[in-house]
């Protein structure tokens, strides 16, 4: 079933600087889609549009049949989408557990429920025993698993992953890809 539909999508910085145009695609849940292209080709810009961080110059992005602009970009980001970044984007002065809880805090989930869900998610990615460490006490692969736990804790329908293995060694990259493969069974994952 198509969960995300992109119709005639165009993004331009100016009239003379078009990043891409005429993108039409239907994306289904339960799958991983890859975006490939050279540096500067608009891959991250495309993810930003899908995640409601930016607005297309032309065209529509439909989530379950509704234009995400009509739904509200902030609501789309809060309820439907999560991001996994190459650089982890963890807050280093708070614990791993607090990093994972952060999205739930912003959604207004009560503290007891936040803690429970965050610990369950850390357990799912094999890091429950590291919950009270700071991110700088972890390896790169562990930090990426924290980022994945943070992305999943709100149970989004869509995961947007911008080079999630780019800063990792081959062995750790394979482990991260296995986690993403497992997650994709009931989510839509779009990955650069």
pLDDT score recorded for residue 162: 92
- Token pair belonging to 138: 């972890």
Provide the 10 A C-beta neighbour count for residue 154: 18
pLDDT score recorded for residue 123: 93
- Token pair belonging to 43: 């891959």
Instruction: Using DSSP, state whether 187 is helix, strand or coil.
Output: coil
Contact 156, 84 (CB under 8 A): no
Q: What are phi and psi of 56, to 5 degrees?
A: -65, 150
Could you give the residue ranges of the DSSP H alpha helices within the chain? Answer: 43-50, 68-71, 73-79, 96-106, 111-124, 140-152, 170-183
Contact 138, 147 (CB under 8 A): no
Q: State the 10-residue block means of pLDDT for the chain, 192 residues long.
A: 93 91 95 93 94 95 95 89 88 96 86 96 93 95 92 93 85 86 91 94
User: Within a 13 Å sphere around the CA of 59, how many CA atoms are in the beta-carbon half?
Assistant: 23
Cα of first residue to Cα of last residue in the chain, in angstroms, is 22
- The label of the residue with tokens 């339960």 reads 30
User: Within a 13 Å sphere around the CA of 43, how many CA atoms are in the beta-carbon half?
Assistant: 17
Q: Which of 81, 143, 154 is nearest to 121 (CA)?
A: 154
pTM of the model: 0.89
Q: Which of 187, 176, 159, 161 is nearest to 87 (CA)?
A: 161
Q: Which of 191, 146, 188 is nearest to 31 (CA)?
A: 188
- Token pair belonging to 126: 């094999």
């Amino acid at each position: 079933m198509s969960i995300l539909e992109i119709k005639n999508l165009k993004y331009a910085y100016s009239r003379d600087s078009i990043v891409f145009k005429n993108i039409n695609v239907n994306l289904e849940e339960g799958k991983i889609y890859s975006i490939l292209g050279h540096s500067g080709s608009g891959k991250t810009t495309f993810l930003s549009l899908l995640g409601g961080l930016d607005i297309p110059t032309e065209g529509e992005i439909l989530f379950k049949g509704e234009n995400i602009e009509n739904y509200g970009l902030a609501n789309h980001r809060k309820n439907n989408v999560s991001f996994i970044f190459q650089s982890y984007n963890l807050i280093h002065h708070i614990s791993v557990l607090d990093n994972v809880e952060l999205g739930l805090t912003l959604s207004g989930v009560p503290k007891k429920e936040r803690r429970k869900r965050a610990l369950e998610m850390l357990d799912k990615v094999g890091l429950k025993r590291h919950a009270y460490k700071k991110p700088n006490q972890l390896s790169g692969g562990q930090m990426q698993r924290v980022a994945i736990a943070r992305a999943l804790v709100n149970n989004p329908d869509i995961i947007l992953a911008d080079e999630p293995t780019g800063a990792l060694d081959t062995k750790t990259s394979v482990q991260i890809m296995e986690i993403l493969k497992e997650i994709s069974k009931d989510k839509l994952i779009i990955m650069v």
